[in-house]
Amino acid sequence: TGTQFNVKSYPGSKQIEVALKEGNINFLTHNVKRPILLKPNDYLQFDKNKNSVSLDNRDIKKYIAWHENIMILDDTPMPEVARLLEQWYGIKVIIGSEEILKYKFTTTFDNEPLFRVLELLELSSPISIKYSPGKPDKVTKKLSQSIVTITKKDAYEILTF
């Protein structure tokens, strides 16, 4: 019954997220006897592994901003940033070191092209980004997926930055 909401549920993901802007939603899973009623500004997380639900009322702007081509990173860990870049821009992101996985980002991108997003991420942190454009397949002529490789800047790059 919700009229404006966002559901985030991807294959392989450990959780389902629901953010409700307007209307009502009844959330029901196989192990819950009664539906959980969400009201405007409710944010629900369902952990698929634990079969647990958490629900709170909060500012949901960052969860629904993508409807307006706005990407909000709010202390967002690098693996989540990589996943968002893959979904938004249809690229493959490779993270080059375990240390980078610990990085978190807080910023907002308002309808920015991929190259601008990559440039700003690189300028704001000790990472280097290499973009490898997709190439056409000789037989099908279809373009392969572009690849973005993120590595840690070496000491020389950091000093000359």
pLDDT of residue 1: 52
Q: What is the pLDDT of residues 84-94, one digit of tens each?
A: 999 999 999 99
Rounded to a whole number, what is the distance in angstroms from the first to the last CA of the chain? 52
pLDDT of residue 57: 94
Burial of 140 (0-12, 13-18, 19+ CB in 10 A): exposed
Residue 108 sits at the vertex; the CA angle it makes with 106 and 110, to the nearest 5 degrees, is: 165
Low-confidence residues in the chain, pLDDT < 70: 1-2, 155-161
Whether 95 and 80 have beta carbons less than 8 Å apart is answered as no
Q: What is the pLDDT of residues 122-139, one digit of tens each?
A: 999 999 999 999 999 889
